[in-house]
Structure 1
């Protein structure tokens, strides 16, 4: 029995563990670093998968979930890179692949052909394996000597458990017995890969042999930049409502303007779809680039959900009433190179900073007497300030000055063709003006009569590029 006593029974060792626990042997620095590198590899591959599969995933809720989980993974990659760098490890060797079997494991999930198999691979195999590895680290390492790693693992486990919970519910909702049976052989192959890899953390029995041939990854993965939407988006080519024209017109009062801002926020679904294409198709950047860009991607997904919440708060079923288009992400992803998409993103962001930009939207939100609108626009504005900084850090620095960077973004944006009339001629859309019925529904919730002036609002999307150029010119 240990007779060690602290002064007046105060917590020993800063409260991180007991004295007997601190006396237990643990991982050496070398063994610890070996495991950390494998967690790093797993998080990096998960980040790649969540980002790469986001755009072409049609289900809105999964787009949002993938956006968040990609952000989580990017943050934990950064934390692990920093920790490995603290542990006598120059050069770090963080780009090395820790075994062929682990590489195949993640390649297979990346290449899975259906949403159901993707969910099973991510949330029944990869995420639980990572969770088990982090938990094992906490059991095996010395809590005092390796406390910086312990802290990283504890924080990581909070979000891994959140990811696992989300995935479990998604699988319960979308994967039936037939789907699972079709995926049975493939899921067994993933298990074989993990076992041959010595489990995700390498603590099991390692095998140099690849247990089976590749399934889906026999053909290398190719990023799909065409955005897809589920059946709740019946008219993704609809460009019949120009939110900016309405919002900046002084004749309209704040209340309907904040309703239009909920639409603007929800419409930002296409920003993660476009940003995912930049991240997926841009190679050989420092990791901080991918971390920062993924943070912005997640922010834009949050903004879309703010719009979703705004409509729900008003009792408006947005899938039935609001036509949320994907024409912006479709055009940029299919017509421009990654650096040109980033240029357009930066150009548009510059129009959000002057008085007719985010401050104006926040003021409208406050004036509308809608507490959610004021709150959401307050945070949306703060996010955009951060995004402007990200743009300066990773886009503007490659130009002589900010003016040249904006000019290039203007030039790239001017080359993007929005096939307004062509989409209509092909029967893809009628560009229906859905605004009056949404405004009427909001007025019913507010208990007021619709304003005839607001009700008769009608415009076309053709003025958007000119509007944006005017905004940027005033910045």
Structure 2
């Protein structure tokens, strides 16, 4: 027992300000106890990441795709931090790929297999994440903050983003699940809670409840279309390829004042990159966790780019839902025609085309030349992100192929095999490839009191002619 009369020098904060003398003297977890809990936390981060990635592509609601992209990024980074911490605690081999408890595995399997969006959100944001939050808070409360300060700090920082995810879920669940739907799912919620109890809680801190392990939705075959992109009703014409942004941007004869609208379109169209990258991450095995961290960071960046385009339209006074047709033909083609490595090869090949002066720097210069501050801002960051993505490609794709030359050639060959058959989309009645650009430009002119430029209004370039003009420039982003 510490003498209450003992004081620090001039009553300065004791123990570096992280605890009182009494708190620092309190018993806490042994190394073995601490590691056991950290491994459970890590398993939760890892499984949550896999669920966000595994359900992103086929989730039709745009806002949820974006939210899942961010939350997958958070989970990947926190899982990496936990792996590093366990590795500091006399733990080689780490055993982080070992299922910590069968009931905990079944708990996350059930959420991954949730039959619809409402159930998925309920499982993620009202069951899994609250259980993880309680486990992190319990670790902070029960560990010795001095001797286990690195773990304490990880948990404290993680709670910031867990609380952010929970706040998102508090709005998302009632938006997508009504009272009747919630009532119908109550037996499944009871099952999830029973599985957690059987596991001794998410962190294993409670006595394990006896009982037979049951499953409701999990255990069947993996959905064959889980990486086939879907869109909500605000994307009524997802096969539409009637407007080719790159031709317009590179045409020096066309006035620059309208080009930021095409930049916003190009950015918003990048919804398809997270849809495609999720399939690479979800179907690639045998990579170190750092691969998952880097690829998920890039996936989140691409989601950010899409939202930059959305905000670009909104701040320009344009309702993109009424005037712009955002397609998914790129992610659909790659996800259904190529295996994961070849998808990554195409992604890298396209990114290399964005690095020269005619790529991302050019788009930034367009924003500047148009005097559009927001377009300039987003292209500045988009350019920086693409430099990072090129590094990620070198680290994880080029090294797997051999060298940069081979990597580009292989990506070119893979891309040349992808069939985005815009003619057949029309012939099959999937789209008429409406040229929606004149209506968009005219609306922008009305909003800003400008007289529409006849050359801009007349713009119409088919993908057939554009392919000949712009070899190597992506039809996506």
TM-score (ref. length: structure 2)? 0.97
Q: 1:452, CA displacement in angstroms? A: 0.8
CA distance change for structure 1 residues 251 and 35 in 2, over 3 Å: closer, same or farther?
same
Give 2:316's aligned residue.
314
* Partner residue of 1:91 out of 82, 89, 93: 93
Instruction: List runs of 5+ in structure 1 lacking aligned partners.
Output: none
Is 2:197 aligned against 1:217?
no
Structure 1 equivalent of residue 454 of structure 2: 452
The alpha carbon displacement at 1:470 in A equals: 4.9
Q: Distance in 1 between matches of 2:464 and 2:208?
A: 61
| Contact 2:350–2:472, Cα closer than 8 Å, also in 1 | no
Q: Is the 8 A contact 2:237 2:431 kept in 1?
A: yes
2:104 is aligned to 102
Query: Residue 57 of structure 1 contacts residue 229 of structure 1 at CA under 8 Å; is this kept in 2?
Result: yes
Match of 2:267 in 1: 265
Contact 1:101 1:210 in 2 (8 A): no
After TM superposition, the structure 1 stretch with the greater mean CA deviation from structure 2, 310-319 or 267-276, is 310-319
Q: Is the 8 A contact 1:354 1:471 kept in 2?
A: no
The superposition leaves residues 353-412 of structure 1 with CA deviations (integer Å, 9 ceiling, x where unpaired) of 011100010111112211111110000000000000000000001233211110111111
Moved more, 170-179 or 132-141: 170-179
Superposed displacement of residue 445, structure 1: 2.4
Q: In the aligned structure 2, how far is the partner of 1:253 from the partner of 1:106?
A: 54
Distance verdict in 2 for CA 1:295–1:415, change over 3 Å: same
Cα distance, 1:257 vs structure 2: 0.8
User: Is 2:343 the counterpart of 1:336?
Assistant: no
8 Å Cα contact 2:227/2:335 also seen in 1: yes
Are residues 293 and 465 of structure 1, via their aligned partners in 2, closer, same or farther at CA, if it must alter by over 3 Å? farther
2:59 to 53, 57, 60: 57
**8 Å Cα contact 1:356/1:471 also seen in 2:** no
SS in 1 for 2:358: coil
Match of 1:379 in 2: 381
2-structure distance, mates of 1:263, 1:392:
28
- Provide the rounded CA distance (Å) in 2 between the counterparts of 1:411 and 1:29: 52
CA distance in 2, matches of 1:328, 1:91: 42
SS of 2:471's equivalent? helix
Instruction: Give the Cα separation in 1 of the matches to 2:334 and 2:466.
Output: 15
- Relative distance call for 1:437 and 1:424 in structure 2 (3 A) is same
Selected match of 1:353 from 352, 355, 368: 355
- Change in Cα spacing, 1:179 to 1:30, as seen in structure 2 (3 Å) is same
The correspondence for 1:403, drawn from 383, 402, 405, is 405
Quote the Cα distance in structure 1 between the aligned partners of 2:108 and 2:87.
25
Query: Which residue of structure 1 lines up, in the alignment, with residue 174 of structure 2?
Result: 172
Q: Which residue of 2 aligns with 1:46?
A: 48
Q: Give the Cα–Cα distance (whole angstroms) in 1 for the partners of residues 414 and 465 of structure 2.
A: 17
How big is the shift at 1:214? 1.1
2: CA distance, partners of 1:468 / 1:298: 28
After alignment, is 202-211 or 230-239 more displaced? 202-211
Task: Look up the match of 1:235.
Answer: 237
Q: Secondary structure at the match of 1:413?
A: helix
Map 1:270-309 onto structure 2 (within 5 A): 270-309=272-311
Deviates more, 1:248-257 or 1:37-46: 248-257
Of the three residues 125, 129, 134, the one matched with 1:123 is 125
| Distance 1:81-1:115 versus aligned 2 partners, 3 A rule | same
Give 1:471 deviation, angstroms. 5.6
Which residue in the other structure is 2:372 paired with?
370
Residue in structure 1 matched with residue 441 of structure 2 by the alignment: 439
**Given the superposition, is the C-alpha separation of residues 315 and 30 from structure 1 closer, same or farther in structure 2, using an over 3 Å criterion?**
same
- Segment of structure 1 superposing worse, 121-130 or 461-470: 461-470
Aligned mates of 1:466, 1:191 — CA distance in 2: 58
- Is 1:429 paired with 2:442? no
Measure, in 2, the Cα distance between the counterparts of 1:181 and 1:282: 37
> RMSD of the alignment, in Å?
1.3
Relative to structure 1, the CA distance from residue 448 to residue 40 in structure 2 (aligned partners, 3 Å threshold; closer, same or farther) is same
Q: Which whole-Å CA distance do the structure 1 matches of 2:165 and 2:192 have between them?
A: 19
Q: Distance in 2 between matches of 1:382 and 1:463?
A: 31
Whether the 8 Å CA contact 1:348–1:468 is kept in 2: the answer is no
Match of 1:388 in 2: 390
Q: Which moves more between the two structures, 456-465 or 335-344?
A: 456-465
Q: Which runs of 5+ in 2 are unaligned?
A: none
What residue in structure 2 maps to residue 17 of structure 1?
19
Indicate which of 170, 182, 185 corresponds to 2:184. 182
- Which of 73, 76, 79 is the equivalent residue of 1:74? 76
| Other structure's SS at 2:86 match | helix
With the length of structure 1 as denominator, give the TM-score of the two structures.
0.97
Residue by residue over 1:15-74, the C-alpha shift from the partner in whole angstroms, topping out at 9 and shown as x without a partner, is 111112111111111101000000000000000000000000000000000000000000
Distance 2:364 2:469 in 1: 19
